Amino acid sequence: MYFDILMVMSEIIEKEHEEMEEKVVEDLSQLELTSDSEHSSDDYSTTTPIKSKKFNTVGELKKEMSKLGLSLKGNKEELKKRYKKYIKKQEEKEKNMHKVIKKVQPFKYYCVIDYEATCEEGQAFVYPNEIIEFPAVLLRSYTGEVESEFHEYVKPKNNPVLTKYCKELTGITQEQVDGADYFPEVLKHFEAWLSQFSDFPYENVCFVTDGPWDIRDFIQKQCVASDIKRPVYFYSWLNLRKAFKYAFRLKNQKRLNEMLAHIGLTFEGREHCGLDDTRNIARIVQFLLENSVTLKKNIEYNRA
């Protein structure tokens, strides 16, 4: 997200909002594991384990692959390789399904969001940003696994033509936003997606962002541009930078790449691509969940 470039400037603004923020995560060394028995039984659904089979003929192999919906193109060795790759992938999924994090979190889901918005070089906060990419990654708190992803582009209403700077920074094309829906419609799609996992207004979901800007500023500007009310579920959320700082007892908040490096990871994908940014933020959340860091909402938007 392009606000990263002006982090120093934004921290001055953020300090004005800190009186609204509640206490955040405990330090790693102070945390205790909690029994996973507090989860409901439906959270631990099981499936029949996937096992590799032996085949006497190519016909038997093709028959099994057909049942699994696999392509039957190629020679015998190619078929065997494709089948083994499928089985290995299914075994890995099965393994992850039964991975349970012992620390019970205050929320069942963590929904990571990182918008991309219209922008112009050098204008920063004074620019009338409109959201043009709406990505979200939903994590289950007790496994840390990705439950689902949402991704749509958004057509800007007031400034429909993207600046050269915006296109180069985000990688988003004019054609992608021209073919997209306006924000109110995309927001409905997002709510329909999230409602598959949680009932509106998503009280068991904690929204997570890299810094305060996405929900504090982008959403507010977008609601004004679209002439709609701020969604009720976007009044409190988790600022990952602040949580990360507290968890590791750091002097200052770190940017996305710095947080990744701190836990031994590197950025995957294209920076300032909303979906790639969101996935990388989710990787940090997964690390904190797996290391039993309690993740609570730590920022609230002024309702006045």
Residues taking part in catalysis: 116, 272
Give, in order, the Cα–Cα distances in Å from 82 to each of 67, 68, 95, 212.
14, 11, 20, 45
Residue length of the chain = 304
CB-CB neighbours of 112 under 10 Å: 28
Pick the closest to residue 13 from 272, 247, 299, 224 (CA basis): 299
Supply 191's token pair.
């709510």
Q: How far apart are CA 146 and CA 286, in angstroms?
A: 9
DSSP line for the chain: -GGGGGHHHHHHHHHTTGGGPPP-PPPGGG-----GGGS-GGGG---PPP-----SSHHHHHHHHHHTT----S-HHHHHHHHHHHHHHHHHHHHHHT---SSPPS-SEEEEE--EE---TTTGGGS---EEEEEEEEEETTT--EEEEEEEEEE-SS--SPPHHHHHHH---HHHHHTSEEHHHHHHHHHHHHTTTS-TTTTTEEEEESSSHIIIIIHHHHHHHHT-PPPGGGSEEEEHHHHHHHHTT-SS---HHHHHHHTT----S-TT-HHHHHHHHHHHHHHHHHTT------EE----
Phi, psi of 37 (to 5 degrees): -70, -15
